[in-house]
């Protein structure tokens, strides 16, 4: 237990320092933005008395160092500000929209796992130089395609020209399902309507591909490199000499070891995908924390902007922490040490 604590303590400390740095950066940016913060927080139609009341409530009448302490205290207690547009706490708005973003991120990661791992396994099992070069070139190209350009391209080709997929929203006009979880596909399944399920999946397809293409390319490169390293090990030669097929070696031996860095990469990509939903949800006009942030910027809702950025940063660093912990648990070197000790 003590060894585990010592191993995890630096990661936890690094996460806390990252959150503190993000909170400090948000505070400094808020201080440098021109204009009256109290007037912005009170709303456009607020009277001078209301603005002054908001100024006192937010502590903006105090010295800067006291405002900084209050800023950190509010964040620690889960106060990410109040939207001047919805007049609701930002955390309440984000909690309502988060399931939709989670749905998109999960779909993107499923696509990334399939589109990244299947070609890597095929490339490793075949071992053909020409095919390998083409797959790697495709992966590099796919990883470098700008997400906004890919989104517009898929909307035009697969949506407008071919009509295979819808290009906006989460459901077609006139089709509605009861909101239970906030995830359209799950709610469609719970509604028992096959039409709603297929429509929700069709609306989810293009955004998931756009958000998951870069992680898929990164996963392919990482998994293919790990598999190439594993297939050069002595145990593969021994297994082949005993008559084991390449498929058996890949599935039973090599993939298990090669998957650890790849799974860690996927975990990190999950965190960054939550930052990527800002662009994808805006292009495909899907409700979520990304579209909420864009709307807040357009409406100059500074409280919602800073609260959303802080909330998204919290998701990213927490996911990264969980990935670090999972990697330390799954690392085969740690398992070998434990087996040797036993």
**What is the model's pLDDT at position 246?**
65
Mean pLDDT value of segment 53-67: 75
pLDDT at 249 over 70: no
pLDDT above 90 coverage of the chain, percent: 1
Q: What Cα–Cα distance (Å) separates residue 183 from each residue in 98, 114, 120, 287? A: 9, 22, 31, 11
pLDDT at 105 over 80: yes
Per residue in 121-144, pLDDT (tens digit) is: 777 766 554 445 666 666 666 666
pLDDT at 7 over 70: no
Higher pLDDT, 143 or 315: 315
Distance between CA atoms of residues 301 and 326, nearest Å: 38
**What is the model's pLDDT at position 318?**
83
Q: Which of 169-183, 203-217, 270-284, 291-305 has the highest mean pLDDT?
A: 203-217
Higher pLDDT, 277 or 41: 277
Reported confidence tier of residue 307, pLDDT bands at 50, 70, 90:
confident
Strand partners, 273: none
Distance between CA atoms of residues 130 and 140, nearest Å: 16
CB-based contacts of 80, cutoff 8 Å, min separation 6: 74, 89, 90, 91, 94, 306, 307, 308, 310, 311
Mean pLDDT value of segment 96-120: 88
Mean pLDDT value of segment 19-43: 76
Give the per-residue SS3 of the chain.
Answer: CHHHHHHHHHHHHHHHHHHHHHHHHHHHHHHHCCCCHHHHHHCCCCCHHHHHHHHHHCCCCCCHHHHHHHHHHHHHCCCCCECCCCCCEHHHHHHHHHHHHHHHHHHHHHHHHHHHHHHHHHHHHHCCHHHHHHHHHHHHHHHHCCHHHHHHHHHHHHHHHCCCCCCCCCCCCCCCCCCCCCCHHHHHHHHCCHHHHHHHHHHHHHHHHHHHHHHHHHHHHHHHHHHHHHHCCHHHHHHHHCCCCHHHHHHHHHHHHHHHHHHHHHHHHHHHHHHHHHHHHHHCCCCCHHHHHHHHHHCCCHHHHHHHHHHHHHHHHHHHHHHHHHHHHHCHHHHHHHHHHC
pLDDT at 310 over 70: yes
Mean pLDDT value of segment 28-35: 75
Residue 187: count of CB within 10 angstroms of its CB: 23
Distance between CA atoms of residues 23 and 248, nearest Å: 50
**What is the model's pLDDT at position 245?**
63
Mean pLDDT value of segment 5-14: 74
**What is the model's pLDDT at position 335?**
45
Per residue in 259-295, pLDDT (tens digit) is: 677 777 777 788 778 878 888 888 888 888 888 888 8
Residue 258: count of CB within 10 angstroms of its CB: 24
pLDDT at 28 over 80: yes
Reported confidence tier of residue 340, pLDDT bands at 50, 70, 90:
very low
**What is the model's pLDDT at position 339?**
39
**What is the model's pLDDT at position 107?**
92
Q: Which of 112-126, 129-143, 159-173, 322-336 has the highest mean pLDDT?
A: 159-173
């Amino acid at each position: 237990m003590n060894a585990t604590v010592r191993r995890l303590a630096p990661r936890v400390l690094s996460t806390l320092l990252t959150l503190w740095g993000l909170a400090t950066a948000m505070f400094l940016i808020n201080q440098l933005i021109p204009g009256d913060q109290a007037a912005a927080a009170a709303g456009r139609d607020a009277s001078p008395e209301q603005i002054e009341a908001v100024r006192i409530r937010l502590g903006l009448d105090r010295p800067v160092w006291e405002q900084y302490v209050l800023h950190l205290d509010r964040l620690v207690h889960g106060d990410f500000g109040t939207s001047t547009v919805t007049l609701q706490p930002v955390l309440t708005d984000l909690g309502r929209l988060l399931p939709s973003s989670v749905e998109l991120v999960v779909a993107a990661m499923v696509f990334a796992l399939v589109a990244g791992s299947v070609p890597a396994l095929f490339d490793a099992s075949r071992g053909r130089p020409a095919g390998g070069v083409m797959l790697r070139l495709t992966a590099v190209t796919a990883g470098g395609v700008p997400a906004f350009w890919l989104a517009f391209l898929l909307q035009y080709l697969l949506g407008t020209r071919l009509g295979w997929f819808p290009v906006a929203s989460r459901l077609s006009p006139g089709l509605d399902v009861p909101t239970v979880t906030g995830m359209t596909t799950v709610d469609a399944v719970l509604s028992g309507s096959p039409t709603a399920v297929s429509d929700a999946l069709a609306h989810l397809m293009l955004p998931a591909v756009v958000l998951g293409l870069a992680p898929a390319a990164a996963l392919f490169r990482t998994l293919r490199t790990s598999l190439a390293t594993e297939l050069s090990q002595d145990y593969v030669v021994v297994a082949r000499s005993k008559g084991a097929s390449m498929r058996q070696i890949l599935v039973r031996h090599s993939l298990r070891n090669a998957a650890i860095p790849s799974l860690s990469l996927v975990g990190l990509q999950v965190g960054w995908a939550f930052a990527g939903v800002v662009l994808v949800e805006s292009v495909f006009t899907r409700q979520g924390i990304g579209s909420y942030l864009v709307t807040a910027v357009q409406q100059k809702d500074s409280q919602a902007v800073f609260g959303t950025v802080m909330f998204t940063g919290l998701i990213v660093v927490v996911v990264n922490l969980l990935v670090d912990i999972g990697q330390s648990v799954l690392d085969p070197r740690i398992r070998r040490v434990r087996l040797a000790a036993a």
